[in-house]
Structure 1
Amino acid sequence: MKIHKLISDSATLAELVERLAAAPFVAVDTEFMRENTYWPELCLIQIASSEEAAAIDPMAEGIDLKPLLDLLVDNDDVLKVFHAGGQDLEIIYNLTGKTPAPLFDTQIAAMALGFGEQVGYSSLVESMLGHALDKGARFTDWSRRPLDKRQIDYAIADVTHLSTIFPRMVDKLRKNGRGDWLDDEMERLADPSSFAFAPEDAWKRLKLPGRNPQLLGRLKALAAWREREARSKNLPRGRIIKDDTLGELASHPPKTQDDLGRVRGLSQGWRSNDIGGRLMEALEGAEPLSADDLPERGPKRPGLTKDAVLVSDLLKLLLKIRSRETGVASKLIARSDDLEALAAGVRDGLPILRGWRFEQFGRDALDLVEGRLAFATEDGRLKMTRTAI
């Protein structure tokens, strides 16, 4: 494989992208910093086909990333391969308003191949390629320039290994007939709505202090205010104001800006500064949540009776057995809330009752719930038995 090291000019990058556009797939990774910012600061992009690999410096003066970004989000002929790509996708979405497609995530694929849930990249490389990764540059400040040879080699190795692992994973998925199992998961990962986050929805990510419409209305207004402040200043939310302080302000709203100086977690400066004034404006404009917007009381799906709780526990045991038998991570097969819903009597809209999940688990799960399947022991070993009803 040809390695190009660090590309820092537009012409060389455009030439690389033109060649990569003819490849069936590209492996992609990014390095970024976000400890001190709201928006992740993109510091390096690594990309590889089966024939060549390079690191690209997005911080280089005057570099035009558009050809590369167009390849990632607008070229449907090239498959984009990531490992645990959620944060990489977020960065690309922030830059383009789109997510890469078509998409393949090797961490999700590993769940269907017996590597367990959320296998780390180092473990995957060691399992599939037989050698350990150099972890010496993991804690690099990728925003500092110049980057030395070891840092660049470390970064490029991520995509060179990924470009080797990907075809092997696809071959395994084809041999065991599990390739189609991943379509829904990849589509969900690439859904742009996962990254389009409105400030007005920020309150939903907080620990909610009850269901009082007035209190939650104030919390919604304050959380949206903080989100806008954090974005405009490019600072982490907690640097603007902590979650606990936000909840305290919503529960015990100050009557005047001068009262902010007595709120735990705020300095005396909030009594007179502009940001304190904007906070008070947000509070004054808060409206009670409507009944439709109030959070649900408990789980949205039907509550479980005592017997249904026992059935749910049996379903979880069945899931554990099926996961062990098939070598597929239980998280990929079914989620706990789906099992609880099935135990509570829900039949419509459950992923485990359609497609490959039904064949691998859902049919037996339904039989267990409806009394056609039972657990038994034989010679000290747990097994499933069919019942006559």
Structure 2
Amino acid sequence: MKIHPLITTSAALADLCERLAKADFVCVDTEFMRENTYWPELCLIQIADTEEAAAIDPMAADIDLSPLLELLVDNEDVLKVFHAGGQDVEIIYNLTGKTPHPIFDTQIAMMAISQSEQIGYSNLVESWLGIAVDKGARFTDWSRRPLDARQIDYAIGDVTHLSKIFPKMLKRLIKTGRGQWLDAEMEKLADPENYRNDPATAWQRIRASGRNPAVLGRLKALAAWREHEAQDKNIPRGRIARDETLADIASHPPKQQADLAKVRGLSPGWKENEIGKRLMAALAAATPLGEDELPPRTPRGAPLGKEGALVADLLKLLLKIRAREIDVAARLLARSDDLELLAAGVRKNLSLLEGWRFEQFGREALELVEGKLAFAVLGGKLKMTHIDEIHEEMGQQNPAAVEDDGIAAEKATADEVVADEAMDEDRA
């Protein structure tokens, strides 16, 4: 593979993009800084196909990125391959108002062919290529110039390795017939709505209990105010005010600006400064949320009660068993909140009851909830089977005894899955 010197001119970039536009796919990665800014600061772009690779300096004087951005967002003939590409896609969206398309993410794809839920890039390279990635430049300040050869080599390696892994991964997906499982996930990654920083919807990212329209109306106004302040100053929103602080103010609004000095998370200066004045103005303009804006009455993750929690635990155990059986990441099959909704009796708008997820897991999950599927210890082994099959295998045994055995097995396995999840949390 040909590795180009760092590209710092518009002419060199245009020539590169003209060649890459003829490729079947390009692998893309970015280096950026965002610790001290609202908008991520793009510092380096790496791109490769199977023949050549380059790093592009977007901070170079007078460089025109238009050919590259056109390749990424307008050329539908070239597949754009990322690894854990959410933040890379966000940067491209901020530059163009569009997202790369079509798109493929190797981290997401690994969930369809292994039990890895969020495999890191280093582990991906080691598992597919047997190469240990040098992590020495991982914490580089990419905004500093000049970049040395080691930094550039490290950055380009992110796409050269990916260009070798992707064809292998694609063959595995075709062989297993699981490529279509990923279509919706990739489209979700490319959805521009994921990256639009709309102040009017910023409140939805803040955890707030209850459905009080007045409280949530104030939270919406405060979150929008904070978003505008952070964008205008180009600083992280948390440096304006933390989520907990906004939620506290929304629940217990100060009557006058002087009361801001008593709010935890705000400095005493807010009682008389301009930003405090703007916060109070946002509060004064707040209106209660309409019914159509309020969160659902049965929020995800709501307490299920003892019986419902037991059913949810059994569903989680079933999910673990099924994920291991077909070697797929459990999170790709179903999310915990969907399992809890299923246990609570919800049957609509659950992804696990649709399409391939229903075929691979949802049907059995539904049968378990409806009493058609059970866990039982047969021949010393935990078995997941239909109730009528248990009766057949137990022969002439008293049906009541079989039912008691099934209930005992369910309770035991529910305890096991709770203990298992606790151990997982300790390891994390």
Q: Note if contact 1:25-1:80 (Cα within 8 Å) is conserved in structure 2.
A: yes
Matched residue type, 2:141? D
Distance 1:346 1:147, change over 3 A: same
Deviation at 1:297, TM superposition (A): 4.3
Pairs within 5 Å for 1:39-54: 39-54=39-54
Q: Could you tell me which runs of 5 or more consecutive residues in structure 2 were left unpaired when the two chains were aligned.
A: 390-428
Is 2:97 aligned against 1:74? no
Amino acid at match of 2:241: I
Contact 1:129–1:165 (8 Å) recurs in 2: yes
Give the structure 2 partner of residue 325 of structure 1.
Answer: 325
Q: Mean Cα displacement is larger for which, 204-213 or 129-138? A: 204-213
**2:371 and 2:209 mapped to 1: Cα distance?**
41
Q: What do the CA deviations read for 1:241-289 (whole angstroms, capped 9, x no partner)? A: 2333323433343333344344443344434433222222112211222
Give the aligned partner of residue 207 of structure 1. Answer: 207
Instruction: Note if 1:368 corresponds to 2:368.
Output: yes
Runs of 4+ in 1 over 6 A off after TM superposition: none
> Percent same amino acid at aligned positions?
70
Superposed, which structure 2 residues align to 1:226-245 within 5 Å? 226-245=226-245
Query: How many pairs were matched up?
Result: 389
Matches of 1:304 and 1:268, distance apart in 2: 43
Task: Give the counterpart letter for 1:6 in structure 2.
Answer: L
Superposed displacement of residue 375, structure 1: 1.7
Instruction: Measure, in 2, the Cα distance between the counterparts of 1:362 and 1:70.
Output: 41
The worse-fitting range, judged by mean Cα deviation, of 273-282 and 167-176 is 273-282
Distance verdict in 2 for CA 1:366–1:61, change over 3 Å = same
C-alpha contact (below 8 Å) 1:26/1:81 kept by paired residues = yes
Q: For the residues of structure 1 that align with 2:56 and 2:335, how far apart are their CA atoms? A: 39
What is the aligned partner in structure 2 of residue 12 from structure 1? 12
Cα distance, 1:313 vs structure 2: 2.1
Partner of 1:111: 111
Structure-2 separation of matches of 1:358 and 1:259: 54
Counterpart contact for 2:73–2:98, Cα < 8 Å: yes
- Looking at structure 2, the residues matched to 330 and 366 of structure 1 have their Cα atoms a distance apart, in angstroms, of 17
CA contact (8 A) 1:5 1:156 kept: no
Measure, in 2, the Cα distance between the counterparts of 1:384 and 1:251: 48
Q: Which amino acid aligns with 2:173?
A: L
Instruction: Tell me the residue number matched to 1:88.
Output: 88
Give the Cα separation in 1 of the matches to 2:235 and 2:268. 21
Change (3 A) 1:165 1:209: same
Cα–Cα, structure 1 residues 62 and 316, in superposed 2: closer, same or farther, change >3 Å? same
1:263-302 matches, within 5 Å, as 263-299=263-299
Alignment partner of 1:29 is 2:29? yes
CA distance in 2, matches of 1:199, 1:129: 44
1:330-369 equivalent positions in 2, closer than 5 A: 330-369=330-369
More helix by percentage: 2
Secondary structure class of the residue paired with 1:383: strand
Shift of residue 7, structure 1, vs aligned partner: 0.5
What TM-score comes out, normalization by structure 1 length? 0.94
1:79, distance to aligned residue in structure 2 (A): 0.3
Summarize the Cα distance change of 1:357–1:246 in structure 2 as closer, same or farther, 3 Å threshold: closer
Contact 1:112/1:332 (8 A) holds in 2: yes
**CA distance in structure 1 between the partners assigned to 2:358 and 2:339 by the alignment:** 13
The answer on whether the counterparts of 1:125 and 1:165 sit within 8 Å (CA) in structure 2 is yes
Q: Give how far 1:26 is off.
A: 0.3
Q: Deviations over 1:104-149 (max 9, x none)?
A: 1000111111151101110010011001100000100000000000
| Aligned equivalents of 1:31, 1:378: Cα separation in 2 | 55
Whichever residue aligns with residue 54 of structure 1, its letter is A
Name the structure 2 match of 1:385: 385
Task: Give structure 1 stretches of 5+ with no counterpart.
Answer: none
Matching of residues 123-162 of structure 1 within 5 Å: 123-162=123-162
Task: Indicate how the Cα distance of structure 1 residues 192 and 290 shifts in structure 2: closer, same or farther if over 3 A, else same.
Answer: same
Distance 1:263 1:165 in 2: 52
Distance 1:267 1:302, change over 3 A: closer
Aligned partner letter, 1:374:
A
Of 205-214 and 107-116, the range deviating more from structure 2: 205-214
Which residue is 1:178 aligned to? 178
Question: Which shifted more, 344-353 or 354-363?
Answer: 344-353
Letter in 1 for 2:14: A
Partner Cα separation in structure 2 for residue 302 and residue 247 of structure 1: 20
Letter in 2 for 1:351: S
Q: Deviations over 1:143-196 (max 9, x none)?
A: 000000000000000000001100000011111111111111111111111112
Of 244-253 and 309-318, deviating more is 244-253
Higher mean displacement: 330-339 or 139-148? 330-339
1:192 corresponding residue in structure 2: 192
Is 1:5–1:153's contact at 8 Å kept on the other side of the alignment? Answer: no
Partner Cα distance (1:295, 1:108) in 2: 29
What secondary structure does 2:172 align onto?
A: helix
Which string of whole-angstrom CA distances, capped at 9 and with x for unpartnered residues, describes residues 11-52 of structure 1? 100000000000000000000000000011011100000000
2:4 alignment partner, SS class:
strand
Mean alpha-carbon deviation: is it higher for 213-222 or for 313-322?
213-222
Residues 329-355 of structure 1: per-residue CA shift (max 9 Å, x gap): 000111122223333333333322332
What is the distance in 1 between the residues matched to 2:250 and 2:303? 30
Deviation at 1:298, TM superposition (A): 4.4
The alpha-carbon distance between structure 1 residues 250 and 350, as it changes in their structure 2 partners (threshold 3 A), is closer
Contact 2:319/2:330, CA 8 A, preserved across alignment: yes
- CA 1:222–1:80 in 2, change beyond 3 Å: closer, same or farther? same
RMSD: 2.1
Q: Is residue 115–residue 323 contact of structure 2 (8 Å, CA) maintained in 1?
A: no
* Aligned partner of residue 224 in structure 1, secondary structure: helix
Shift of 1:304: 4.3
Query: After superposition, what is the alpha-carbon deviation per residue over 1:188-236, rounded to whole angstroms, capped at 9, x for unaligned?
Result: 1111111123212222222325443333322221111111000011001
CA distance in 2, matches of 1:313, 1:11: 60
C-alpha deviation, 1:305, in angstroms:
5.9
Q: 1:302, 1:344 within 8 Å by CA — same for their partners in 2?
A: no
How far off its partner does 1:68 sit?
0.5
Cα separation, 1, equivalents of 2:248 and 2:337: 32
- The letter of the residue matching 1:24 is D
